[in-house]
Amino acid sequence: MFKPKGVIPALITPLDKNGNLLEGALKEVIDYTIAGGVHGIFILGSSGEIYGLTDSQKRRVIEVTVEHTAGRVPIYCGASEITTRDCIKTAQLAQEIGGVSALSVLTPYFMSPTQNELIEHFTAIAKSTELPIVLYGNEGRTHVKIAINTCEVLSKIENIIGIKDSSGDMTKMAEYIRVTDREKFSVLAGKDTLIYGGLCHGGSGAIASTANLAPQLVSDIYNTFIAGDYKKSLELQFKLAPLRFCVDKATFPIVLKEGLKMIGIDAGYTFAPVSEIAFEVKQQLTDVLKDLELYQKVKNPG
């Protein structure tokens, strides 16, 4: 069974002002992150604004990504809808297109299911597809928690192979690692400030939004840790922190797209009503990217 590991950027979806997919920019982001040494790429996540994409756009994002990545790294694809039915629909779309290594499924949002309902939800999705599944908990945005026991139960389903934990709760992440089989089940940090901490507790890596902007830096937190240079890994984790803090300074995920523009990749716009980034936030982001030697790094996009 496929085993998720390393640093996987949660890619943005480049869009024009009217919400149309910018295929050329998507290819640029794919190339930029892979050149930075990432260990996979993740499309159609919350950073990728899956909630606003049409079915045809989701299909095209998968098709373009599979074709352009051309096997260079594994592809993770979100199947994160509100209902079980719609998650299954997106999961089966990814399986039908082919070329996807694993699915990521966020807890439902807007509704607040019980833990038993969550188990039924994820179990039904797992049974609907041959693809491996990474659970995704992001309680800060969905207000739905994946309890430790729920994760333990779901980890015993053959094709549920991991969890992305964006809770920011290091104790919870450590408990996910403790109660699951570390040979068969991967726990991935979803909070970019806790990549090093997760690795210290036996985690397998991270799905990180900041890897859109700083793929080499984020990847090297993992690479140096695996190489046994824990001091360097921690230094790199601290170096990343100011960039991660910038991401929360404006409505998600506009800072990621603004940052890519500063680097030299025009990632377009976010779905309305998200439209503004304050001057002081833009200046702070500029300063952080300059400190990281990423500002205008891509000189000739396209």
In a domain, 236, yes or no: yes
Say what the pTM is: 0.95
Domain-embedded: residue 281: no
Domain assignment present for residue 289? The answer is no
Asked if the model's pLDDT at residue 299 lies above 80, the reply is no
For 193-224, write each residue's pLDDT tens digit. Answer: 999 999 999 999 999 999 999 999 999 999 99
Q: Tell me, yes or no, whether 300 lies in a domain.
A: no
Whether residue 226 lies inside any domain: the answer is yes
Q: What one-character DSSP code corresponds to residue 71?
A: T
Q: pLDDT of 135-161, one tens digit each?
A: 999 998 899 999 999 999 999 999 999
Task: Classify residue 298 as exposed, middle or buried by CB count within 10 Å of its CB (0-12, 13-18, 19+).
Answer: middle
* Helices assigned H by DSSP within the chain: 23-35, 55-69, 84-97, 115-128, 139-142, 148-154, 170-179, 195-200, 215-226, 230-247, 254-263, 279-291
Spatial distance between the Cα atoms of 223 and 218, rounded to a whole number of angstroms = 9
- Provide the number of structural domains found in the chain: 1
Closest CA to 252 of 48, 109, 61: 48
Q: Which two tokens stand for residue 258?
A: 């603004």
Nearest CA to 263 out of 218, 217, 295, 221 is that of 295
With contact defined as beta carbons under 8 Å apart, do 34 and 69 qualify? yes
Asked if residue 47 is part of any domain, the answer here is yes
Sheet order of strands, 160-165 included? 6-9, 205-208, 186-189, 160-165, 133-137, 102-106, 75-78, 41-43
Structural domain including 222 reads 6-240
Average pLDDT over residues 247-262: 95
Structure letter (DSSP) for residue 194: G
Residue 259 forms part of a structural domain? no
Cβ-based neighbour number of residue 238 at 10 Å: 11
Q: Give the mean pLDDT of the chain.
A: 96
Q: Is the pLDDT of residue 301 over 90?
A: no
Which CATH number belongs to the domain containing residue 70 in this structure?
3.20.20.70
Active site residues: 136, 164
* The pLDDT value given to residue 300: 58
